């Protein structure tokens, strides 16, 4: 639990400082770039899904950016 | 000159308005009867070096995007898994094999070890298949609230998994901020093909300790995420995921080897035993940023920790460079490092055997290890509605203790997406 507190504090600090300088929210008519397929947060879903499955099978960190989707008795 | 411009602008607006009005009834009809379909087909070939594990996986996804802002998705997955995997038995030079192949593991002979002059194989051959499907139903309400309800089922020769999940998201702050919450239940059952019944968690020589009914586990995961648009080119997402797993968490095929203090040969073998609860947490930070030239940087960091004393850091970066209007390449690099589980033992001593640990596992995946992945991807849009991509990656894992501290794998993954109805 101690780890989690430090990590949350770290991210809060970095995010608040970083965002202050780069936070320039676009107007609704300025979202053409964000609307592109290649800007989908997280990247190509098929790619991420495969990568998550491989790493789930080969590493001990059995939880990631998403939940659900089925399990396996992987070797 | 200015008057002339105003006049042409007025005319253009009038023309556009008339055009929209004239098309409106047609669109209304289309809404009632038509939707858009997306199809994805994905093929994976995962091959570990030294004839270890090989996985060939086929995924077929279809998504029906209805014009009332709902979408229905179906996914079918089929895996074939073959090769050899470390059993936890220590390597002994020149030892004869005492194991035999089953659907997904090994039949363990009794009376093994140094005294019997027989040793178990450190690598066990296996063959397994996995078939499953996933469904998801997405709805949008008032253009700002999205809900998802999903279900998944998969079955292997010795393992089955079924789950349901739900999530909801709301757009806030003029759609610059989005908050998502999710909840998932998964019910898995392991029914290993070990003669006499499953999950042996104890000494091999002797009776089985558990019945088939003990091969269940319940996984409950929860997530909350915040997505924030930072500027015209940058969006970021912070997700916290927490989960618990309760039930039979051991791997029924994994062993732990006790070594003779003098000869250093395997003296006896035990099935591994893990705690029957596991609490996990992960904090994920993602960033998408498009450069001025159109290249896209995707950064991802995860910090994971659990109550088995495992913590890990993951750094994943992808950089996509467009090659003209329809082609691109993407470079991928990933670095992962984890600490060992507090019950990880690559091997046990005779003193350990006299006072056996409550929990023990020699599974190399619970060791302190690092993983490095490098890859390249090529993609092209073969029409306005078709997208093909293929990538090649190498993965290298380096553990700390045990007989199998190094793992190398090659990954070839191709996928195609076609959109109909646009």
Residue of A17, A70, A72, A74 to mutate when probing chain B, most B C-beta within 10 A: A70
| Residue B317 to residue B31: CA distance in whole angstroms | 40
A35 touches B at CB < 8 Å? no
Q: Quick one: pLDDT at residue B205? A: 37
Q: Can you read off the two tokens belonging to residue A28? A: 């609704």
Q: Which residues contact B398 (CB under 8 A, 6 or more apart)?
A: B369, B370, B371, B372, B405, B406
Residue A72's pLDDT is: 67
Q: Flag whether residue B295 sits within 8 Å of chain A, measured between CB atoms.
A: no
What pLDDT does residue B221 have? 96
Query: CB contact, 8 Å: B187 with chain A?
Result: no
Q: Is the minimum CB–CB distance between B59 and chain A shorter than 8 Å?
A: yes
Q: What is the pLDDT of residue B50?
A: 92
What pLDDT does B83 receive? 92
Task: Give pLDDT, residue A5.
Answer: 67
Q: Are B204 and B271 in contact (CB under 8 A)?
A: yes
Using DSSP's 3-state secondary structure scheme, residue B94 falls into coil
Question: Which pLDDT value is given to residue B216?
Answer: 86
pLDDT digit string, tens, across residues A25-43: 999 999 999 999 999 998 9
- Contacts with A68 from chain B: Cβ below 8 Å: 150, 152, 163-165, 182, 184, 186, 221
Residues 13-52 of B with CB under 8 A from A: 40, 42, 44, 46
Give the separation between CA B102 and CA B98, rounded to whole angstroms: 13
CA gap B385, B377 in Å, rounded: 20
What is the per-residue pLDDT for A71?
A: 64
CB nearest A7 (choices: B104, B283, B290): B283
- B73 touching chain A per CB within 8 A: no
Q: How far is A25 from chain B (nearest CA, A)?
A: 5
* Mean of all residue pLDDT scores within chain A: 80
What is the domain partition of chain A in residue ranges? 2-58
Res B282: pLDDT: 96
- DSSP result, B209-254: ---GGG-EEEEEEEEEEEEEEEETTEEEEEEEEEEEEEE--S-TT-
Judge whether B148 is closer than 8 Å to chain A, CB to CB.
no
Residue B249 forms contact with A (CB below 8 Å): no
Q: Note the ipTM here.
A: 0.83
User: For residue B148, what are its two tokens?
Assistant: 């998802």
Name the CA dihedral angle for B29, B30, B31, B32, rounded to a multiple of 10 degrees.
60
How many CA atoms lie less than 13 Å away from B179 in the CB half-sphere?
3
Nearest-by-Cβ selection for A64 from B59, B284, B387: B284
Per-residue pLDDT at B391: 98
Q: Which residues of A touch B228 (CB under 8 A)?
A: 19
What is chain B's pLDDT, residue by residue, as a tens digit (422 residues)? 333 444 444 444 443 433 333 333 333 333 333 468 999 999 999 999 999 999 999 999 999 988 778 999 999 999 999 999 998 889 887 665 554 433 333 344 456 777 777 788 888 888 889 999 999 999 999 889 999 999 999 998 888 999 999 999 999 999 999 999 999 999 998 877 554 433 444 444 333 334 445 688 999 999 999 999 999 999 999 999 999 999 888 888 888 999 999 999 998 888 888 998 999 999 999 999 999 999 999 999 999 999 999 999 999 999 999 999 899 999 999 999 999 999 999 999 999 989 989 899 999 999 999 999 999 999 999 987 899 999 999 999 999 999 999 999 999 999 999 988 76
Q: Do B243 and A67 touch (CB under 8 A)?
A: yes
Contact call for B44 and A36, based on CB within 8 A:
no
| Fold observed for domain B34-86+125-420 | Porin (2.40.160)
How does pLDDT run across A51-75, given as a tens digit for each residue?
A: 999 999 999 998 877 777 656 666 5
C-alpha span between A59 and B302 (Å, rounded): 13
Q: Which residues from B are below 8 Å from A37, CB to CB?
A: 387
């Amino acid at each position: 639990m101690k780890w989690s507190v430090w990590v949350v504090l770290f991210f809060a600090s970095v995010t608040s400082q970083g965002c202050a300088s780069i936070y320039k929210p676009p107007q609704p008519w300025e979202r053409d770039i964000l609307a592109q397929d290649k800007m989908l947060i997280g990247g190509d879903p098929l790619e991420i899904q495969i990568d998550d499955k491989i790493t789930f099978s080969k590493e001990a960190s059995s939880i990631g950016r998403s939940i659900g989707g089925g399990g396996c008795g992987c070797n | 000159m200015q008057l002339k411009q105003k006049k042409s602008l007025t005319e253009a607006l009038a023309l556009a308005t008339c055009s929209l009005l004239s098309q409106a009834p047609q669109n209304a009809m289309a809404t009632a009867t038509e939707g858009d379909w997306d199809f994805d087909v994905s093929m994976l070939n995962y091959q570990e070096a030294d004839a270890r594990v090989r996985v060939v996986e086929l995924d077929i996804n279809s998504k029906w995007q209805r014009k009332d802002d709902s979408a229905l998705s179906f996914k079918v997955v089929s895996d074939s898994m073959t090769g050899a995997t470390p059993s936890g038995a220590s390597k002994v030079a020149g030892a004869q094999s005492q194991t035999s192949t089953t659907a997904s593991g090994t039949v363990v002979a009794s009376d093994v070890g140094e005294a019997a002059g027989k040793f178990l194989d450190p690598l066990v051959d296996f063959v397994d298949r996995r078939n499953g499907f996933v469904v998801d139903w997405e709805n949008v309400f008032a253009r700002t609230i999205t809900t998802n309800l999903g279900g998944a089922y998969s079955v292997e020769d010795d393992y089955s998994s079924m789950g349901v999940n739900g999530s909801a998201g709301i757009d806030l702050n003029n759609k610059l901020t989005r908050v998502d919450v999710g909840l998932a239940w998964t019910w898995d059952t392991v029914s290993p093909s070990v003669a006499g019944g499953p999950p042996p968690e104890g000494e091999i020589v002797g009776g089985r300790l558990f019945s088939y009914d003990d091969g269940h586990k319940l996984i409950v995961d929860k997530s909350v995420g915040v997505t924030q648009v930072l500027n015209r080119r940058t969006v970021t997402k912070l997700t916290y995921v927490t989960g618990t797993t309760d039930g039979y968490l051991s791997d029924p095929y994994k062993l732990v080897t006790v070594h003779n203090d003098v000869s250093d040969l395997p003296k006896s073998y035990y099935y591994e035993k893990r705690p029957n609860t596991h609490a996990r947490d992960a904090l994920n930070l993602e960033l998408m940023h498009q450069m001025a030239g159109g290249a896209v940087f995707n950064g991802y960091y995860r910090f994971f920790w659990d109550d088995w004393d495992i913590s890990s850091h993951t750094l994943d970066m992808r950089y996509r460079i467009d090659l003209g209007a329809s082609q691109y390449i993407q470079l991928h690099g990933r670095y992962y490092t984890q600490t060992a589980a507090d019950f990880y033992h690559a091997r046990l001593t005779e003193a350990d055997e006299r006072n056996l640990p409550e929990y023990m596992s020699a599974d190399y995946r619970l060791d302190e290890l690092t993983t490095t992945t490098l890859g390249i991807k090529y993609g092209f849009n073969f029409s306005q509605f078709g997208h093909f991509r293929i990538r090649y990656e190498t993965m290298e894992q380096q553990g700390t203790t045990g007989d199998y501290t190094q793992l190398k794998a090659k990954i070839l993954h191709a996928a195609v997406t076609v959109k109909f109805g646009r």
